[in-house]
């Protein structure tokens, strides 16, 4: 059987997507090649303005799959604005390679949108995105957005949703339900779950160095110290929790001076530096409960939840975190209305009062549920979807697969 040549269009190597691309390369009868459109990322280091530093991930992002970098001629290259990705040779290079189908990640870059429009009707066009409708917007803005999306998604044969909120967004944006498929938003759960005994011992030593008693309940946050993530709300809510619990925040960003000032006055609050990927399994284990209090806009999923759950930690997430609907249940964690200080404080007090056996049980349930959002689960679904749908005419009517609510 002929291997289907799948051209994947993505901006730059991303720690969440690289394992998926690697997995797709091992799917029988599928031959993918990733076309990276931010050629300036080929060196491996990129400036992240939200983290306020230049990042170079310490896990392999280009091994195990075919890829190439397409020259980006943008005057100000970057993934933070529409004209930051301008690759005039992208379409020609995909056609020269002989693609049978194309999978585009995100349309909000000039070259990605051009690729969608060019290949529509020529070869099957798949689209992958994680946008939601969770952020409030004025009626006129919503109306204009819906009209724009309806126009754009006419060029897409199959939209591959990452979860329930993503599915709702695609339907609202004009994609027919029969043309929406589902493959879970994923992380490499095996990497985070590995070496539990060894990592637990190292975490015990780390907690001791921070002056945290073994029996203390520790809440953890990891991410960018920016208003969108709302770490200041978390600190303020935590300070109303009595007892010997602790809060540890990993990261960097514009709010770091304020957070460090608070930590200097409150010994139970610890602000620690940004941790690269290899250290994150330890960072999540330093906490007993992971908290993602984001207020948005644009917290489309929150893959830190997946990572913390893979480490056996229950989670607390705000209502603006796109993945909470799929990931958080009574067994795996708690949710609260974004920005609701009292609700978050109540949850923190409730967690701090729980027996450690209860926290461990919820953590085990979180890890088990999180396996539904593993790299392997995502690859299996995406491979099946692409091979099945690319074998039909464009816009073929195939029932959508159900999404976990």
- Residue-by-residue DSSP string for 146-175: HHHHHHHHTT-SEEEESSHHHHHHHHHTT-
What is the reported pLDDT for 47? 76
Q: If you search the block for the tokens 């960018």, which residue do you land on?
A: 224
Indicate whether 35 pLDDT > 80.
yes
204 Cβ neighbours under 8 A, 6+ residues apart: 214
pLDDT band at 50; cut points 50, 70, 90: confident
pLDDT for the residue numbered 54: 79
Nearest Cα residue to 316 out of 348, 285, 282, 349: 348
Helices (H), 39-121: 90-97, 110-119
Q: Are strands 4-10 and 30-36 parallel, antiparallel or unpaired?
A: parallel
Model confidence pTM above 0.85: yes
Q: Where are the alpha helices (DSSP H) in 210-292?
A: 231-238, 256-265, 280-286
Q: Which domains does the chain have, with CATH numbers?
A: 4-186+375-390 (3.40.50.2000), 189-372 (3.40.50.2000)
188 pLDDT more than 80: yes
pLDDT band for position 1 (50/70/90)? low
| DSSP 8-state symbol, 246 | E
**Per-residue b or e along 368-382, where b marks 16 or more CB atoms closer than 10 Å to that residue's CB:** ebbeebbbebbbebb
Cis peptide bond prior to 194, omega within 30° of 0: no
- For the stretch 333-375, pLDDT in tens is 999 999 999 999 999 999 999 999 999 999 999 999 999 999 9
Structure tokens at 178: 């029969």
Are 238 and 218 spatial neighbours (Cβ–Cβ below 8 Å)?
no
DSSP 8-state class, residue 402: P
Complete edge-to-edge strand list for the sheet that includes strand 315-318: 269-272, 246-252, 218-224, 289-292, 315-318, 333-336
Q: How far apart are CA 9 and CA 300, in angstroms?
A: 20
Query: Do the beta carbons of residue 97 and residue 5 sit within 8 Å?
Result: yes
């Amino acid at each position: 059987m002929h291997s289907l040549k799948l051209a994947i269009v993505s901006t730059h190597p991303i720690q969440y997507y690289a394992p998926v691309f690697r997995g797709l390369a091992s799917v029988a009868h599928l031959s993918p090649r990733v076309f990276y459109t931010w050629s300036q990322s080929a060196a491996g280091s990129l400036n992240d303005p939200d983290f306020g530093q230049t990042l170079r991930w310490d896990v392999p992002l280009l091994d195990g799959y075919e890829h190439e970098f397409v020259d980006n001629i943008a005057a100000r290259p970057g993934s933070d604005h529409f004209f930051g990705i301008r690759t005039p040779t992208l379409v020609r290079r995909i056609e020269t390679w002989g693609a049978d189908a194309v999978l585009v990640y995100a349309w909000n870059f000039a070259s990605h949108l051009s690729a969608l429009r060019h290949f529509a009707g020529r070869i099957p066009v798949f689209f992958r995105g994680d946008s939601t409708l969770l952020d409030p917007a004025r009626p006129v803005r919503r109306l204009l957005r819906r009209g724009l999306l309806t126009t754009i998604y006419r060029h897409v044969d199959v939209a591959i949703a990452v979860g329930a909120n993503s599915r709702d967004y695609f339907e609202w944006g004009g994609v027919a339900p029969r043309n929406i498929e589902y493959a879970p938003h994923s992380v490499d759960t095996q990497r985070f779950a590995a070496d539990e005994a060894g990592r637990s011992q190292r975490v015990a030593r780390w907690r001791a160095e921070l002056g945290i008693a073994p029996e203390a309940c520790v809440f953890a946050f990891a991410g960018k110290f920016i208003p969108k993530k709302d770490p200041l709300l978390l600190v303020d809510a935590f300070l109303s929790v009595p007892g010997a619990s602790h809060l540890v925040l990993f990261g960097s960003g514009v709010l770091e001076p304020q957070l460090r000032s608070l930590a200097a006055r409150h010994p139970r609050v610890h602000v620690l530096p940004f941790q690269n990927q290899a250290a994150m399994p330890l960072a999540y284990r330093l906490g007993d409960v992971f908290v993602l209090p984001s207020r948005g806009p644009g917290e489309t999923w929150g893959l830190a939840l997946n990572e913390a759950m893979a480490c056996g930690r229950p989670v607390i997430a705000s209502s603006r975190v796109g993945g909470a609907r799929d990931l958080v249940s009574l067994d795996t964690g708690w949710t609260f209305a974004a920005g609701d200080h009292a609700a978050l404080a109540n949850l923190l007090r409730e967690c701090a009062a729980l027996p450690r056996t209860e926290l461990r049980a919820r953590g085990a349930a979180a890890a088990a549920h999180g396996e539904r959002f593993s790299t392997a689960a995502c690859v299996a679904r995406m491979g099946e979807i692409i091979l099945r749908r690319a074998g039909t005419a464009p816009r073929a009517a195939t029932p959508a697969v159900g999404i976990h609510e």
